[in-house]
Amino acid sequence: MRIVVLDGHTVNPGDNSWLGLEEYGEVLIYPRTQPDELLQRALFADILILNKTPLDAQVLKKLPMLKLISVMATGYNVVDVAAARTRGIPVCNVPAYGTDTVAQYVMALLLELCHHVGEHAESVARSEWVKATDWCYWKSPQIELRNLTLGIVGFGRIGRRVAELAHAFGMRILYTSRFEPEAEPFPVERVFLDDLFSRADVISLHCSLSASNIGFVNEALLRRMKPSSFLINTARGQLINEKDLAGALREGALAGAALDVLSQEPPATDNPLLDAPGCLITPHMAWASLAARRRIAETTVTNVKVFLEGHPQNVVNAHF
């Protein structure tokens, strides 16, 4: 059994472990795989493990030995799952590994928007405090979260965990969701999307990406926001019309945005959000705590193990 990891660096840049994978066959681990390297590396694989390396129908047709694809993430849009199903190849993912770490990161982004901690630390490093006339200063408004309203778009595992953390700060919680969620131990209010954008002081996106919601955060929706409000996105960059958001920030339709995801990653140099005022961007790292990456590696090994035992788990494209 040949097991090929196509892009292992992100999940394991040296601080994680593939412990146990070698028990199930010959293992080849590549840090990264470029498009012109893909076919050669995948050709004789029985099992392919990947994170962001695309596997489309044309490539899948050329892999006669392939029996399993295991995606080291919750999202699996990099794989043509329909083509894999046609071939009888199960595609597995890693659900729920990042609930706590992503929710924690959302709060980090929110607190940075409220306090600009990094900016003030840099100010002190530039000796501005040493030279200050007063015993303290602040370079941006300092915002208290208690009694502000958080609007959550998508109320799955991560959205609910964000709500729980926000409630601990004393925030009121609005949410919109396609599904009726479980009862929460604190007050939440389900509202329509337009209402959420109009009422919330902070909006955090936690919905999955689909053909129907690409760019749904557009000019019309952004204009519903309060000029004092913030937008946070740790879900998928394609949910936002980036040109519209850049324009809204320049016009003061909202006070700021914190984005861990963009429509193209890494971004093109002409992405309008890179120089938009009040826009904090981080490099798609909300998921990447060591604890979360260990869960990814452990679940991936288990995906391989139980598949070889005849009862695959976390299958996203069919029941096998």
Residue 202 has pLDDT above 90, yes or no: yes
Res 100 pLDDT > 80: yes
Confidence band, pLDDT 50/70/90 cuts, at residue 319: low
Average pLDDT over residues 116-129: 97
209 and 76 together in one domain? no
Do residues 259 and 233 both lie within one domain?
Answer: yes
If you average pLDDT over residues 92-118, what whole number do you get? 97
pLDDT at 320 over 80: no
Give domain status of residue 205, yes or no.
yes
Q: What is the 3-state secondary structure (H, E, C) of the chain?
A: CEEEECCCCCCCCCCCCCCCHHHHCEEEECCCCCHHHHHHHHCCCCEEEECCCCECHHHHCCCCCCCEEEECCCCCCCECHHHHHHCCCCEECCCCCCHHHHHHHHHHHHHHHHHCHHHHHHHHHCCCCCCCCCCCCCCCCCCCCCCCEEEEECCCHHHHHHHHHHHHCCCEEEEECCCCCCCCCCCCEECCHHHHHHHCCEEEECCCCCCCCCCCECHHHHCCCCCCCEEEECCCHHHECHHHHHHHHHHCCCCEEEECCCCCCCCCCCCCCCCCCCEEECCCCCCCCHHHHHHHHHHHHHHHHHHHCCCCCCECCCCC
Question: What is the pLDDT at residue 318?
Answer: 80
- CATH at residue 81: 3.40.50.720
Structural domain harbouring 208: 99-281
Cis bond upstream, residue 187 (ω within 30): no
Specify whether 121 is located in the same domain as 16: no
Mean pLDDT of the chain: 95
Cα–Cα dist 53/62, whole Å: 16
Are 71 and 129 members of one domain? no
What is the band of 183 on the pLDDT scale with cuts at 50, 70, 90?
confident
Query: What's the one-letter identity of residue 54?
Result: P
Cα–Cα dist 162/151, whole Å: 10
> Which residues are tagged catalytic?
236, 265, 284
Between these two residues, 54 and 179, which has the higher pLDDT value?
54
Pairing outcome for strands 47-50 and 68-71: parallel
With CA atoms as reference, report the closest residue to 178 among 209, 202, 207, 199: 207
Give residue 166's pLDDT: 98
Residues 167 and 183: their CA atoms lie apart, in Å, by 15
Shared domain check, 270 and 131:
yes
Q: Once rounded to an integer, what is the mean pLDDT over residues 9-28? A: 92
Query: Percentage of the chain surpassing pLDDT 70?
Result: 99
Does residue 316 form part of some domain? no
Q: Which tokens belong to 153? A: 């778009």
Q: Is 31 left (phi over 0), alpha (psi -120 to 50) or beta?
A: alpha
Report pLDDT for 252.
Answer: 97
Confidence of residue 223 (pLDDT cuts 50, 70, 90): very high
Q: Do 24 and 163 reside in the same domain of the chain?
A: no
pLDDT band at 75 (very low <50, low <70, confident <90, very high): confident
| 112 and 230 housed in the same domain | yes
Split at pLDDT 50, 70, 90, the class of 224 is very high
Q: Are residues 36 and 108 in the same domain?
A: no
Domain count within the chain: 2
Q: Do 265 and 303 belong together in one domain?
A: no
For residue 112, the one-letter residue type is: E
Residues 33 and 180 in one domain: no
CA angle 174, 179, 182 (to 5 degrees): 70
Q: For 226-268, what is each residue's pLDDT tens digit?
A: 999 999 999 999 999 999 999 999 999 999 999 999 999 999 9
Are 122 and 266 contained in the same domain?
yes
148 — pLDDT class (breaks 50, 70, 90)? very high
pTM comes to: 0.92
